[in-house]
Amino acid sequence: MTKEGRNTRILIVDDDAGIRNILGVILTKRGFIIEEAENGKVALAKIAKNKPDLILLDVKMPVMDGFQTYKHLKSASQTKGIPVIFCTSGHIEDIQKVKIGTDECIRKPIKLKELDEKINKILESKE
């Protein structure tokens, strides 16, 4: 179970509205403030207006995929410190190639216990 009531802002970036909705409902019930984006381009626009504490980032998306979004985030001084949890149905090894710092990755379908552990790990490292 994640730490509740932290007023932590999480941006869920996934082209699948169902996944965004399910994760949003679950994480909102756990006390997180949730925002959603359907691709990397929309995510970057939202981040420019209101920087999240953590990003759940799908890898395969139209318009701007997770890798492009991640590279953009990590190259900008204003956003390079935002931790990212990659969510993928692909190979974790591919994501390991671009991992930096406290960033994590999880496989779809997402197991809530694993997601809770990753979120807690990142939030504890930020404290």
Q: How is residue 119 written in tokens? A: 């979120």
Residue 1 located in a structural domain? no
Residue 19 located in a structural domain? yes
Residue 110 located in a structural domain? yes
Residue 29 located in a structural domain? yes
pTM here?
0.89
Domain region containing 27: 9-126
pLDDT for residue 52: 97
Residue 4 located in a structural domain? no
Q: From CA 25, how far away is CA 28, in angstroms rounded?
A: 5
Domain CATH number, residue 24: 3.40.50.2300
Residue 2 located in a structural domain? no
pLDDT for residue 96: 64
The C-alpha angle with vertex 47 and arms to 13 and 19, in degrees rounded to 5, equals 15
pLDDT in 10s for each residue of the chain, 127 residues: 445 546 899 999 999 999 999 999 999 999 999 999 999 999 999 999 999 999 999 988 999 999 899 999 999 999 999 999 988 887 666 566 555 555 788 888 899 999 999 998 888 887 6
Q: How many domains does the chain contain in total?
A: 1
For the chain, percent helix, then strand, then coil, each to nearest 5? Answer: 40, 20, 40
